[in-house]
């Protein structure tokens, strides 16, 4: 006759449980820095995608409406893209959203630790990106004068750039991955 195993034989001892917890804590400590870097990369990519989408929306609305549409920082002085942005039809011509302007879309601040800087062919503040009815980038005062540049998003060691060329086409690049084809902020697209 066989004897049934005692319940004690299938249980873990306190020593075994502590050893497993110690191994799990060591594995978590090794993986935590990589996990934080991955989260920051996803936050940066999310901010880049939001801004890139806003540029596309601005361009599409300019073509659909048959008039100039602007994308500008929400910040009152019009210099800090990190605090969010707004797409609008600038009826009063001041490059800032106001009561007489038609708002199309707004976006709040980007994630904590993300810095956005802009370098355009004309650096007069308030900052903006404008599209004419043909979908070309232009100045706020002339649909025929081209305006191009780069919006750079930084988070720690990571950088992503949105480059807008003279035709108004935008592309995203990563200087670490794309090298010379991504260029610096001061380059023309």
3-class SS of residue 106: strand
- The pLDDT score that the predictor gives to residue 122 is 78
- The pLDDT score that the predictor gives to residue 186 is 42
- The pLDDT score that the predictor gives to residue 3 is 65
Based on the structure, what is the number of domains in the chain?
1
Name, in order, each residue with C-beta under 8 angstroms of 69's C-beta and a sequence gap of 6 or more. Answer: 58, 59, 61, 62, 87, 88, 89, 90, 104, 130, 131
pTM: 0.79
Domain-embedded: residue 188: no
pLDDT digits (tens, 9 = 90+) for 12-35: 788 888 899 999 888 877 766 677
- Which domain range does residue 174 map to? 15-182
Residue ranges in the chain whose pLDDT is less than 50: 185-189
Domain-embedded: residue 6: no
Which CATH number covers residue 139? 3.55.40.10
Domain-embedded: residue 105: yes
Domain-embedded: residue 161: yes
pLDDT digits (tens, 9 = 90+) for 146-172: 899 999 999 988 999 999 998 999 999
């Amino acid at each position: 006759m066989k004897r049934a195993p005692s319940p004690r034989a299938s249980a873990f001892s306190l020593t075994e449980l502590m050893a497993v917890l110690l191994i799990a804590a060591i594995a978590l400590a090794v993986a935590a820095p990589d996990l934080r870097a991955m989260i920051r990369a996803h936050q940066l990519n999310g901010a880049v995608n939001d801004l890139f989408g806003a540029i596309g929306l601005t361009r599409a609305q300019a073509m659909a409406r048959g008039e100039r549409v602007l994308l500008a920082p929400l910040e009152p002085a019009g210099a800090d893209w990190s605090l969010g942005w707004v797409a609008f039809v600038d009826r009063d011509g001041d490059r800032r959203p106001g009561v007489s302007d038609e708002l199309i879309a707004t976006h709040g601040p980007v994630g904590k630790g993300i810095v956005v800087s802009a370098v355009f062919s004309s650096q007069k503040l308030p900052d903006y990106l404008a599209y004419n009815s043909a979908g070309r980038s232009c100045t706020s005062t002339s649909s025929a004068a081209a305006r191009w540049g780069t919006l750079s998003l930084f988070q720690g060691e990571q950088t992503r750039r949105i480059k807008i060329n003279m035709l108004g086409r935008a592309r995203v690049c990563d200087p670490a991955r794309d090298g010379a084809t991504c260029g610096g902020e001061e380059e023309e697209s």
